[in-house]
Amino acid sequence: MLTKREFLLTSGAAGLVLGTGQATAQTAPDELRDIAANAVPISPEEHQQRLEKAQALMQEQGISALVIEAGSALVYFTGIRWWRSERFTGVVIPAEGTPVVVTPYFEEPSVRESVKVDVDVHTWHENENPFVLVAGALKDRGHDAGKIAIEETVRHFIANGIAKAAPAFETVSGMSVTRGVRMYKSPAELALMQTANDITLAAYKHIYPRVELGMSQGDISAMMSKATEALGGAVEFSMVLLNEASAYPHGTNSRQTVREGSVILMDCGCGVHDYESDISRTWVFGEPTAKQRDVWNTVKAGQELALETAQVGVRAGLVDETVRAFYESKGYGPGYRTPGLSHRLGHGIGLDGHEPVNFVEGEDTPLAPGMCFSNEPGLYTFGEFGVRLEDCLYMTEDGPKLFSAFSPSIDKPFG
């Protein structure tokens, strides 16, 4: 599944991410300071603790090893930053013992540059089968048979290659292991997410009074991205939806410009040492109509209801279901139909912008301390306009806490 950033980069909304408008002198955010300057990255000790927790879960579940390929999970457990290609680079995390990194011979020096934990590195040449090394790593750790857990985003050719190279092993989903660690954020992770959210909100506040009549979505996106970078954030996405495009959660291919009475819906996020923010705001350029004001107030009420519902022990799905029922009582829907809330109410967030689990109908996972979610209800009427308000929260023993304060009103979206 594509992330929001990948979707926008491969769709007509790509310009909204990178900013295609002409920056003006007004957009030079000289007065903005680097909020992320003192942000502390995840320590090698915490990476090691993550490995140990994953190994404990594997032992409980009778799993011999967990296989992860390049991507966020590899960063999460080992610190190794690598990209996905036709050549396998990944790690075999045994239930006991030192993890084994498998990578092409010529990539080993580069792969070692970012590793944060003790690993053994096994390399393969272009005329060799890397998955034989995976099987060998298992044998070296004393496993001739058993279960190999495959991290949930690993591509098929890798999982298939491992199954063929290690036929005595049963390949199973690694979801219970990876989710069992990644879903529960540590204080260090929460601190990085807080900084990312602080940056995004500060960037919003900076650009809000600088939006002008006639600006395109690209102009506004470029201004937001520039401010985000000046504040120390790595831009993940700066989506701007104007007018009718606001009715479509990920926009349209049509060019839009700001006019009197325009609905402006922005959905933006950044990363700080890889941990992400995701904040949406909607307002009107000029005086809102009675309908715009009513829809905005209804969405805000839904967002507040979601926060009230999200308590420790509650099913994640109940948050979506409760807000959706409220909207239906106002004449929207039913269900995911429009006019109404056409998408889930929220998603997990952390090292990835979208992580399990979601605030979506039917999700039975109970909420627990350390979980982080977006809270982003919207109401959309195709052909007219839409409103979305989004802030992220994290669960504590005492209930949900917000990374960013809710938008106060359609007239003062940033207070």
Write out the H or E segment, with its range, that includes residue 9. helix 4-9
In order of 27, 161, 254, 258, the CA distances from 218 in angstroms are 13, 44, 12, 11
Report pLDDT for 12: 40
Gyration radius of the chain's alpha carbons? 23
pTM: 0.92
Give the CATH fold of the 44-182 domain.
Creatine Amidinohydrolase; Chain A, domain 1 (3.40.350)
Residue 199 structure tokens: 């940056």
DSSP string, 150-200: E-TT--HHHHHHHHHH-TTEEEEE-HHHHHHHHTS--HHHHHHHHHHHHHH
Bridge partners (DSSP) of residue 279 are 268
CATH for 4-31+185-402, options being 3.40.50.11890, 3.30.420.60, 3.40.50.2300, 3.90.230.10 = 3.90.230.10
pLDDT tens per residue, range 75-123: 999 999 999 999 999 999 999 999 999 999 999 999 999 999 999 999 9
Range list for CATH 3.40.350.10 in the chain: 44-182
Residues of the chain with CATH 3.90.230.10: 4-31+185-402
Chunked into runs of 10 residues, the chain (415 residues) has average pLDDT values of 42 37 40 94 98 98 97 98 97 97 98 97 97 94 91 97 96 97 98 98 98 97 98 97 96 92 98 98 98 98 98 98 98 98 98 97 98 98 98 98 98 95
The amino acid present at 224, given as its one-letter code, is: M
Q: What is residue 375's three-state secondary structure?
A: strand
C-alpha span between 413 and 228 (Å, rounded): 18
